[in-house]
Amino acid sequence: MSDRPTLETRRPEASSPPQAKVTRFFDEAAGFWTQVYSAPGVFADTHRRRLELALAWIDSLGLQPGAHILVVGAGAGFEVIGLANRGYALTAIEPANTMVGIARGRADAAGCTGVRWVNGDAHALGFARESFDVVIALGVIPWLHTPALAMAEMGRVLRPGGWWLGSADNAVRLDRLVDPARNPVVAPLSRRIRKAVMRPSASARPKARMHTGRAVHRLLDDAGIDPVAEVTFGFGPFTLIGRSMLPEAVGRTINAKLTELALRGVPLARATGSQRLALGQKRLVTP
């Protein structure tokens, strides 16, 4: 394989105020995101399934040992460790300093000492064009202030014929459809009313954005990447007017059964999971 991709000068977009707010949130919640993969509950089950599926899809690609993989939004390093243990050359970029420290420590403890860690932003990756064989972005798109810009960057550093693997929070998700307070038809009106009568708080935590399948395809297409495969999965926690509807054990059982149906391609279930995992391949010739 070729030498490790070189870093260029970072671009100014990376320090934008909206993204700085997201970075602070992840710095402050680093402990939560470190523990989520070992926690009980539907939310954690869904994140574990996402990681399992992502690693399985990578295994299916037949990559050569030493293939250069960029993990964007590396978080606590779970996918980084899984991929480094498979013999790939890993570069991990993450804007939150606390998360970088945690991820690096976890990787070193797991014997993954060859990972290159970069404190940086998805909107300004700073690597040379066509540097990586694979770009992975799990749980990143929902937190981007300008997803199209970040996707263009990921497409830029991906080699022609290389693979992009990422996830988005699904806008058409079953747990959202059944709760009037979160339903995409009713909820926007409620939000407009709240904005009209309440002053927004400067300290309010950032909100993750949701995307339809069509929106994800558009982001990929604009970045010069063709969709190859996608699934949705993760059902719940189910709420009614923001309050939990089901005991945790029941919710986890329902999530497991619906996720099984979704991954088998059963209509309705296959389109309404909370997470959308997508695999794409960069075009050999981009417009």
The model's pLDDT over 139-184, given as tens digits with 9 standing for 90+, comes to 999 999 999 999 999 999 999 999 999 999 999 999 999 988 877 7
Question: Half-sphere exposure of residue 20, counting CA atoms within 13 Å on the CB side?
Answer: 7
**How would you class 198 by CB atoms within 10 Å of its CB: exposed for 0-12, middle for 13-18, buried for 19 or more?**
exposed
Amino acid at 258: L
160 occurs within a structural domain: yes
Cis peptide upstream of residue 237 (ω within 30 degrees of 0)? yes
182 occurs within a structural domain: no
193 occurs within a structural domain: no
Return the residue matching tokens 């009106």: 189
Alpha carbon distance 179, 186 (integer Å): 9
194 occurs within a structural domain: no
Cis peptide upstream of residue 12 (ω within 30 degrees of 0)? no
CATH number at residue 115: 3.40.50.150
Q: Report the pLDDT value the prediction gives residue 2, as an integer from 0 to 100.
A: 52
Residue range of the domain that includes 79 = 12-173+209-234+269-282
Question: Do β-strands 239-240 and 158-170 pair in parallel, antiparallel, or remain unpaired?
Answer: unpaired
163 occurs within a structural domain: yes
DSSP-based three-state secondary structure for 227: strand
- DSSP classification of residue 209: -
Question: Half-sphere exposure of residue 29, counting CA atoms within 13 Å on the CB side?
Answer: 12
219 occurs within a structural domain: yes
35 occurs within a structural domain: yes
- Burial track 17-26 (b if 16+ CB lie within 10 A, e otherwise): eebebbbeeb
208: left (phi over 0), alpha (psi -120 to 50) or beta: beta
The H-or-E segment that residue 34 falls in is helix 30-35
Collect the ranges in the chain with pLDDT lower than 50. 11-14, 190-191, 193-194, 196-198
Q: Report the pLDDT value the prediction gives residue 198, as an integer from 0 to 100.
A: 45
Q: How far is CA 118 from the centre of its chain?
A: 18
Radius of gyration of the chain (CA): 19
Q: Report the pLDDT value the prediction gives residue 14, as an integer from 0 to 100.
A: 47
Give how many domains the chain has, as a whole number. Answer: 1
189 occurs within a structural domain: no
Q: Report the pLDDT value the prediction gives residue 194, as an integer from 0 to 100.
A: 42
Q: Report the pLDDT value the prediction gives residue 285, as an integer from 0 to 100.
A: 76
Task: Copy the structure tokens of residue 47.
Answer: 């994140």
Q: Report the pLDDT value the prediction gives residue 197, as an integer from 0 to 100.
A: 45
Cα-flanking dihedrals φ and ψ of residue 181, to 5°?
Answer: -75, -15
Asked if residues 79 and 55 have their Cβ atoms less than 8 Å apart, the reply is: yes
Cα-flanking dihedrals φ and ψ of residue 158, to 5°?
Answer: -90, 135
